[in-house]
Structure 1
Amino acid sequence: MLFRLVSYKNKLILDYVPAKYFIILEVVLVAITIIPFLIRKGKKTSIISMVISILMAIVLFATSILGVVYDKDIKNVLNKADQTIDDVVENSKLSTEEYGVYILKSDKAEELKDIENYNLGYNLSYAKDETDSVLKDVLAKANNKLIANEYDDLLKMADELLNTEKIAFIFNQAMLDLIENAGDDTNDGKNNGIYKNFTNKIKCIYVVNVKTAVKEYGGDKNVTKECFNVYISGIDTEGDVTVKSRSDVNIIMSINPVTHQVLLLSTPRDYYVPLSISNGVKDKLTHAGNYGINVSMDTLEMLYDIKLDYFIRLNFTGFVDIIDALGGIDVVSDYSFSTHGYSYSEGLNSNLSGIQALWFARERHAFAEGDNQRGRDQMKVIEAVIKKAQSSALLNNYDEIFANISKSFQTNMPKKDIKALVKYQLNETPNWKVVSTSVTGTGRSDVTYSVPNSRAYVMDPDENSVNEAKKLLQKIQNNKKIKVKTTTE
């Protein structure tokens, strides 16, 4: 079987696996399975474990099941795995924005031709070029029989839509999220905003998808010889991973292949900082994602005085289809809790469906540590998916599984660097020392750049913790040993 694999697709395998390992391929496959445990010890989940596992699992899922498939299956799975890497990288080049024309749900109109002579409101504050393009498209499709009016206040748009006849507005999903959360200035897990049911009162009668290029980062680092920084963004929305969305998880992962150290720096979603596009006006860090992943990255670069080389973006909603195709996953919960009609026990929760796993990964208000615990649970779901995918469950529906991986992940790390990292891990088997830390702050209520006329819950940064984080980032870049209280090896 090994001879057939090597002779069938010699170049593809050699791209990822050093030639010397063909002699002991089975040992390597075992090593891949236990890499998360080689990288860390103890109970704390390691992001580097998850990221390397994802990259290696996508590349080498096929080889982990060679003993039970035919040559044709080897060909199909290898090709699909390699194509998935291409798709995940290709996803990073464009971002998608879905705009819609919205009217009251009680309005009898069902499409553009039904709203002739309506007023059409739009707002250029959030994405001028994209909104201009959408406006032109809508007016053309409506034969210019709509009366276009520009607004600069998102909440005024919401009020007029709810209280005015014969009016329509252009919104994207980010705008709708901002409206629904406007006025929610507490951290109690309950939306107390005055527009919390806004989307239940309106309907969309026309959709326009706009794709824009994502700013290029990195490309000049030797990832096996130089320290490099990766921004990990976790989103939780319906639809494609390329859609712009709030970023609920914001982690900087600094990897130093020289010292075999990894620094994981987590920044709270509600951190009250100037965005790279806001001219000094402060906003919640999570809102940066609404303007594109480049704004999130640029904002973090401003905050920590560093350069981010790559990004990895995960959409947890997309995991639902992957998990169902795998036949469910097993997850260990740190606590017993219930959410959205599903209950989870402390300890092992067996055979969770995709939707059960999604709500497990989404919940944060049931825990004293809030977002921190949610982050740990999300990593547990990811590791459980990887573990299940490395079993024979992959055989049952590998085509659908790989397709959903393509929809749930983005990275701008070039394929050559992914190959180099996989080879480096297999060749050197370094004993990574992972150091985890997070910045802190004080919560309060204030207005934001994104919604200037309504207060929201924000967190003022603790400058001491930010300065300590900067020092750690500088140390790992300079090949120096780093140490904080929370460390895993």
Structure 2
Amino acid sequence: MSRRRRRNDWIPGAVITIIVLMLSVVFMGLLAMTKMVPTIYMLIIGIVLVLFTAVIWLLVWHFRHKGRFIAGTILAVLLVAVLALGSFYINKTRDALSGISGVNTEVTQIAVYVRSDDAADSVEATAGYNFGILSSLDRENTDGAVNHLNSQFGTAVQTTEYAGLTELADGLYKNEVGAIILNNAYLDVLEEMDGYADFESKVKQVGTVDVESEIAVNNTSSDGSNDTQTAEPITTSRGGKVYTIYISGIDTRGEMTAKSRSDVNIIATINTDTREILLVSTPRDYYVPLSISNGAPDKLTHAGIYGIDVCMNTLGMLYDIDINYYFRINFGGFVKVIDALGGITVYSDYDFDSKNITGYHFNQGANYVNGEQALVFSRERYAFQEGDRQRGKNQMAVIKGVVDKALSPEILTSYSSILSSLDGCFGTNITYEEIAQLLQQQLAGGGDWTIVSYSVDGTGATEKPYSMSQKAYVMVPDYSTVDKAKDLMAKVRNGEVVTQADADGTTGQ
């Protein structure tokens, strides 16, 4: 009996070793599926796991050697805990990046509004109403909403067309129509205009139609021609990649993919060979033709009403470049990310007190800020003589602060909370595979990135933008600064080293 027990005393150790081996294989499989870890690191991790498994087997293969068996079992439990925790974080990372990447659709929220004192409390209750609609602006979405109502009511609805937003609002105010159909993204535009800041208090939304559409990027040249392109980075002669990415900062009323004005408009040119990132900020009030306005100028921020592809194509026309990637940031939700990072360092050009939200002070030079402070810093413009131009510079300072912190070892201490904070804050059409490849290159190469920022300039004026019914403040471009931005972008794409002194024009001084 004792001899049989001795013959079988290897079984507990074999079970423990098999469990460790199986979990190691699962862990390696999950790690490989992320596509983020360089091959050499995968090989090293695999060898380490094999060695640990072998050591565990040598310790536990005879149950009768109590001391060794207990030591091996403890080591196995610790390794299993590490593998389980690692697998959890691997899955969480994949889910987080999958959730923000490959977003190629956008939602237009079309709403039906009645006067605030109207008895109607649903779209069904507006059957038989005369609906006011815009005659040309956003007509495709308007027609889609009208067709939806025709189908819902089972009869053709009566419509009255208005040339602009204020005329449409006045038609509702004056009882010329019982309801209006309006893209929700126009609310902010309407409230910019004199006499309509209280529009939302005078009307009542009784229903919405969400129209989902694919983001179709056209590379639109300065002569107005365009060519639909796929989102592909440029491959350099050294095998690296050059990405030209439109960074859009929004504070959307609805979901992350809803069309809305873009308050932050930054083009990031990224060269993985030189490890350089150039951020070029374009003021939100820049007075330029939109890609869909047939040459009529508008505020750049209004391009977002018509879709993020219109923003990209419009900036492509301005800078005569192809922009196939976008990265959308909800700056309201961005607070969560910065807090999860434990705060960031931003560099201010000025010592100032915030005017948009009182109670905040920033020093010239380095400021360590939390999420709320970073948001105030990035939104401030009234404290500066340069107004929106300085706000653009501050927004780039916030982005630089986030990138610097995210590339630092400190990120490991708050990794889980950072992943949780990504949901609802970011969206991009960059594929998961491209993001994974960038992370793999960072892990393989390590090292710091150089981040250079530049903001184009202009002159304030009062003009009637394409999307508005009355004149408003705009910024007429200073094309010498646009040309400099083009030159800086071209240098980064071509692998030349660009410094902040080059962008500031202080080289050699």
Distance 2:443 2:344 in 1: 28
Distance 1:24 1:248, change over 3 A: farther
Write out per-residue CA displacement over residues 211-245 of structure 1, whole angstroms, 9 at most, x where no aligned residue. Answer: 10001542253485243311111112233221111
1:163 corresponds to 2:174: yes
Deviation at 1:151, TM superposition (A): 2.6
Deviation at 1:410, TM superposition (A): 1.4
Deviation at 1:250, TM superposition (A): 1.3
Match of residue 163 from structure 2 = 152
Asked which structure has the greater CA Rg, the reply is 2
Deviation at 1:197, TM superposition (A): 1.2
Match of residue 375 from structure 1 = 395
Decide which of 312, 315, 319 is 2:327's aligned counterpart: 312
**Residue identity (%):** 36
2:254 maps to a residue whose letter is G
Distance 2:320 2:357 in 1: 44
Write out per-residue CA displacement over residues 83-115 of structure 1, whole angstroms, 9 at most, x where no aligned residue. Answer: 221221232x10011111001112222112333
Match of residue 122 from structure 2 = 111
1:337 corresponds to 2:353: yes
Contact 1:333 1:344 in 2 (8 A): no
Match of residue 365 from structure 1 = 382
Match of residue 294 from structure 2 = 279
Distance 2:409 2:447 in 1: 25
2:470 maps to a residue whose letter is S
Map residues 63-462 of structure 1 onto 2, 5 A cutoff: 71-91=83-103, 93-123=104-134, 125-144=136-155, 146-164=157-175, 167-182=178-193, 193-216=194-217, 217-219=230-232, 221-222=234-235, 225-319=240-334, 326=340, 329=343, 334=348, 335=351, 337=353, 343-346=359-362, 358-359=375-376, 361-371=378-388, 372-373=390-391, 374-376=394-396, 378-379=398-399, 382=402, 390=411, 392=413, 395=416, 398=417, 402=419, 405-451=422-468, 453-462=469-478
Q: Which runs of 5+ in 1 are unaligned?
A: 26-65, 183-192
Contact 1:333 1:346 in 2 (8 A): no
TM-score of the superposed pair, with normalisation by structure 2: 0.73
Contact 2:114 2:180 in 1 (8 A): yes
TM-score of the superposed pair, with normalisation by structure 1: 0.76
Distance 1:389 1:233, change over 3 A: farther
Secondary structure at the aligned position of 1:10 is classed as: helix
Contact 1:238 1:317 in 2 (8 A): no
CA-based RMSD of the aligned residues comes to 3.6
Deviation at 1:457, TM superposition (A): 0.9
Match of residue 474 from structure 1 = 490
Distance 1:482 1:90, change over 3 A: closer
Distance 1:222 1:423, change over 3 A: farther
Distance 2:178 2:293 in 1: 30
Distance 2:409 2:381 in 1: 25
Deviation at 1:77, TM superposition (A): 3.0
Q: Give the number of equivalent residue pairs.
A: 429
1:103 maps to a residue whose letter is V
Distance 1:24 1:314, change over 3 A: farther
Match of residue 190 from structure 1 = none
1:456 maps to a residue whose letter is A
Range that drifts further, 383-392 or 16-25: 383-392
Distance 1:237 1:230 in 2: 20
Deviation at 1:331, TM superposition (A): 6.9
Decide which of 463, 475, 478 is 2:479's aligned counterpart: 463
Distance 2:92 2:464 in 1: 48
Range that drifts further, 410-419 or 284-293: 410-419
